[in-house]
Chains A and B, each alone.
Chain A
Amino acid sequence: MNRRDLLLGTAGASLAAALPRTGQAADPPIKIGLLEDISGDLASIGLPKLHGTQMAVDEVNATGGILGRKLELIHLDPQGDNARYQEFTRRLLQRDKVDVLIGGITSASREAVRPIVGRQNAFYIYTNQYEGGVCDANMLSVGAVPEQQLSTLLPWMVERFGKRVYTVAADYNFGHLSSAWGKSIMKPLGVEFVGEEFIPLGVSQFAQTIQNIQRAKPDWLYMLDVGAAQSSFYEQKNAAGVRLPMASPVKIMLGFEHKRFPAGVMKDMYAAANWFEELDTPEAKAFVARWRAKYPDEVYINDMGYNAWVAIMLYKQLAEKAKSTKLADLRGAMADGTLGVDAPEGRIVIDPKSQHCSHRMRLISVDGENKIKIEKDFGDIQPFWLSQVGCNLLQSNPREQYTPDNLPRR
């Protein structure tokens, strides 16, 4: 179970060759600890994250590493088990003494890891889109947050489809918090929430939910289901003849349901994404081509996998500007709010007050043939919410997760 994949990438051979030579080349590698699920219920969305990190590490090593030091990737597979996340976090930080810890899929796993990272005062990068609100100087969040995914998507849905909304959400922190986000964004728009259902993780049968939806007669569905079992909802809803527009922050670009389900099942699903494989800019196409050359069997390059690649590139910028891998120096390097990378989606910049990233957000939809269409380009969206409610990591480090229902005391 405690499988340890030591993934040196292309660095392995050159590093071994370099070691016995001059003192300059014998600089120890920068160790990157990676926790990603490549087995268990979330394996399908976790594998692209491992690939994204591997590709970035290889690309950085091919151009000389960071500060003249090669990157060494140590990947462990926690299999979606939060206890294992904690065990592996301790192991990577204490025994392997990694310079930076990256990874975690669910919000539950991130919250399992964060206290340990805090006690060790280590640097942790979380690469998923999530429900937002973590104000923690030890964490850099690379994925999109609600002000980027929901403040864009939900008002657009209300305007386009109507004000009667039905929420179907997974019964754990992501589902509850994203549902609260939906309310705080849509209530001022006069939206009526005609139904809200929380589904235990692992539930795969939805006849009752489908009937409740028909009774409530919503204009569209706000979908916050998580995991493969719950995603059976779409097939079953379709079979029962329920055809409603849907919006979700975790479908399509993350779960690539349009690559896994028969055509028609995901029809009229709308999402706001910083990355999706179908993005047709020249930079995105070049990125996809590099990825597909390295991993020809990848089912889909999802946003998490892309963010994992971005994380390494951001880390390179940070460490090179700081000329160090120490947390305080890295935070100093991002403090003026200009540090970023030119990524395939566009330029991504770190906001030093919240340690979250700006993103170029686009609204996408799925048609009846499982094809992606870009409905709208929102441009660059800042992660403004945390600093708006008073999180300022340049002044204090509360290590809290704030939500619309749990705001910092002023």
Chain B
Amino acid sequence: MLGNLFAGFYQFADVFAFLVLSAAGLAIIFGMMGVINMAHGEFVMCGVYVTAASYHAGLPLPLAQACGTAVAFLIGMVLEAVVIRPLYTRPLDSLLVTWGLSLVVTQGTLVLVGSTFPGIGTPLGGFRVGDYTFSAYRMVLFAAAIGVLGFVWFLFLRTRFGIQARAVMQNPGMAQALGVRRNRVYALSFGVGAGLAGFCGALYAPTMSLIPTMGSSFIVESFVTVVVGGSSVLLGTAPAAVALAVIRTGLNAWYGQIIGQIGLLVAVILIIRVLPDGFTGWLTRRTA
């Protein structure tokens, strides 16, 4: 009994963590900043590869993961300044540019690093509840997902940078007139988004096969969660991840992975039909 209850929670936590971690970075870049970032999967992949490379170079895993996150953050800042900044008013062009970037990065990795990369191996081992054994690292992923939501809440609602960032997203001209350094806020926000994507990659690096196109396995879930969530990370992405995780976990458990995936996408279509602004719009209306 306890085993089955915990198994249900574990499955939910696993899907929830995957949705939150893969979507968090995109929620900032796409949800808040409005840049349709087709290279999101490649930021994730960057986190994975830097983590794996640092680990193989001899760093302990948590430090290697910090490296993966930091490199994605820095690359995000640089890219924003060089490529993304002129395109804020041209969303379709930014879509094309980021898509092109993703192709260049994927193929570049293939050419430079090769088609495979040695894996790391999942740390922490397993534990047993009732009839089932589980991977302890999956619980770390769940905790990290909660941690990311806490971090985003703190950063955007409790710091000076957060207030400035939200001001810039809402009305860049007015914010600039009030003395906010717009470009710096944009670059930092984009960097945080890219860094969170890299963090996702760093966390999943020990659990997956490493190939240059692996970013694409995060793309569908991340876009779906952000679109269903709407523009806010806390009022959007988090409840969207809960709802989608419940739907997917249930369907996976009763009908298998195929129905789970189909059901997830059908649910998304229904939700954006009923809630055009996603969970954000719905929750904001109810609380306002």
Per-residue CB contact flags for chain B residues 99-118 toward chain A (1 = under 8 Å, else 0) read 00000000100100011111
Judge whether B232 is part of the interface by a CB distance below 8 angstroms.
Answer: no
Per-residue CB contact flags for chain A residues 102-131 toward chain B (1 = under 8 Å, else 0) read 000000000000000000000000000000
Known: A214-B133, A236-B122. A205 touches B258 (CB 8 A): no
Residue from A41, A203, A262 in contact with B213 in the complex, judged by beta carbons closer than 8 Å: A41
B260 surroundings in chain A (CB, below 8 A)? 208
Q: Is the CB of A235 within 8 A of B207?
A: yes
Which residues 207-221 of A sit at the B interface, judged by CB distance below 8 A? Answer: 207-209, 211, 214-215
Residue from B110, B118, B127, B131 in contact with A260 in the complex, judged by beta carbons closer than 8 Å: B118
Known: A204-B217, A229-B217, A235-B208. A240 touches B110 (CB 8 A): no
Per-residue CB contact flags for chain B residues 106-149 toward chain A (1 = under 8 Å, else 0) read 01001000111111111011111001111101100000000000
Known: A211-B132, A215-B131. A47 touches B257 (CB 8 A): no
Judge whether B211 is part of the interface by a CB distance below 8 angstroms.
Answer: yes
Judge whether A231 is part of the interface by a CB distance below 8 angstroms.
Answer: yes
Which residues 297-312 of A sit at the B interface, judged by CB distance below 8 A? Answer: 297, 299
A264 to B253, CA, bound (A): 28
Known: A207-B10, A208-B257. A241 touches B126 (CB 8 A): yes
Q: Is the CB of A208 within 8 A of B121?
A: no
Per-residue CB contact flags for chain B residues 24-68 toward chain A (1 = under 8 Å, else 0) read 000000000000000000000000000000000000000000000
A299 surroundings in chain B (CB, below 8 A)? 114, 116
Judge whether B69 is part of the interface by a CB distance below 8 angstroms.
Answer: no
A214 surroundings in chain B (CB, below 8 A)? 131-133
Q: Is the CB of B119 within 8 A of A235?
A: yes
Per-residue CB contact flags for chain A residues 309-353 toward chain B (1 = under 8 Å, else 0) read 000000000000000000000000000000000000000000000
Known: A215-B131, A241-B135. A202 touches B211 (CB 8 A): no
Judge whether A379 is part of the interface by a CB distance below 8 angstroms.
Answer: no
A47 to B213, CA, bound (A): 15
A297 to B115, CA, bound (A): 12
Whole-angstrom distance between the Cβ of B211 and the nearest chain A Cβ: 4
Q: Is the CB of B249 within 8 A of A208?
A: yes
Residue of B115, B121, B208 most packed against chain A (CB within 10 A):
B115
Known: A198-B257, A239-B126, A261-B209. A207 touches B138 (CB 8 A): yes
Whole-angstrom distance between the Cβ of A221 and the nearest chain B Cβ: 15
Minimal Cβ-Cβ distance residue in A for B257:
A199
Q: Is the CB of B258 within 8 A of A198?
A: yes
Whole-angstrom distance between the Cβ of A204 and the nearest chain B Cβ: 4
Minimal Cβ-Cβ distance residue in B for A240:
B135
A382 to B192, CA, bound (A): 60
Judge whether B7 is part of the interface by a CB distance below 8 angstroms.
Answer: yes
B107 surroundings in chain A (CB, below 8 A)? 39
Q: Is the CB of B216 within 8 A of A231?
A: no
Q: Is the CB of B110 within 8 A of A39?
A: yes
Q: Is the CB of B121 within 8 A of A265?
A: yes
Q: Is the CB of B135 within 8 A of A228?
A: no
Minimal Cβ-Cβ distance residue in B for A198:
B258
A238 to B134, CA, bound (A): 10
Per-residue CB contact flags for chain A residues 174-208 toward chain B (1 = under 8 Å, else 0) read 00000000000000000000000111101111011
Minimal Cβ-Cβ distance residue in A for B14:
A207
Per-residue CB contact flags for chain A residues 258-302 toward chain B (1 = under 8 Å, else 0) read 001110110000000000000000000000000000000101000
The bracket for how many chain B residues form the interface is 35 or more
Known: A197-B257, A205-B14, A239-B135. A40 touches B209 (CB 8 A): no
Whole-angstrom distance between the Cβ of A254 and the nearest chain B Cβ: 13
A208 to B110, CA, bound (A): 31
A231 to B137, CA, bound (A): 18
A239 to B141, CA, bound (A): 13
A165 to B133, CA, bound (A): 19
A58 to B214, CA, bound (A): 34
A207 to B127, CA, bound (A): 14
Q: Is the CB of A229 within 8 A of B258?
A: no
Known: A203-B257, A236-B135. A47 touches B207 (CB 8 A): no
A151 surroundings in chain B (CB, below 8 A)? none
Judge whether A242 is part of the interface by a CB distance below 8 angstroms.
Answer: yes
Per-residue CB contact flags for chain A residues 13-39 toward chain B (1 = under 8 Å, else 0) read 000000000000000000000000011
B216 surroundings in chain A (CB, below 8 A)? 202
Residue from A40, A198, A202 in contact with B256 in the complex, judged by beta carbons closer than 8 Å: A198
Known: A214-B131, A235-B208. A40 touches B116 (CB 8 A): no
Judge whether A232 is part of the interface by a CB distance below 8 angstroms.
Answer: yes
Minimal Cβ-Cβ distance residue in A for B135:
A239
A204 to B80, CA, bound (A): 30
Q: Is the CB of A232 within 8 A of B110?
A: no
B258 surroundings in chain A (CB, below 8 A)? 171, 198-200
Known: A239-B122, A239-B207. A44 touches B116 (CB 8 A): yes
Per-residue CB contact flags for chain B residues 249-266 toward chain A (1 = under 8 Å, else 0) read 100110011101100000
Q: Is the CB of B125 within 8 A of A43?
A: no
A241 to B132, CA, bound (A): 9
B253 surroundings in chain A (CB, below 8 A)? 208
B125 surroundings in chain A (CB, below 8 A)? 239, 241
Top 8 closest A-B pairs, CB basis? A241-B126, A239-B122, A262-B121, A241-B133, A239-B135, A44-B115, A43-B115, A207-B14
Binding site for A on B (CB under 8 A): 7, 10-11, 14-15, 18, 107, 110, 114-122, 124-128, 131-135, 137-138, 206-209, 211-214, 216-217, 249, 252-253, 256-258, 260-261
A-B contact pairs, 13 of them (CB 8 A): A43-B115, A200-B257, A209-B257, A211-B7, A214-B132, A228-B209, A228-B211, A232-B208, A235-B119, A235-B209, A239-B126, A239-B135, A261-B209
In addition to A211-B132, A228-B209, A297-B114, 20 A-B residue pairs with Cβ atoms within 8 Å of each other are: A44-B115, A44-B116, A199-B258, A202-B216, A204-B217, A214-B131, A214-B133, A232-B207, A235-B121, A235-B122, A235-B207, A239-B122, A241-B127, A241-B128, A241-B135, A242-B133, A260-B118, A262-B118, A262-B119, A265-B119
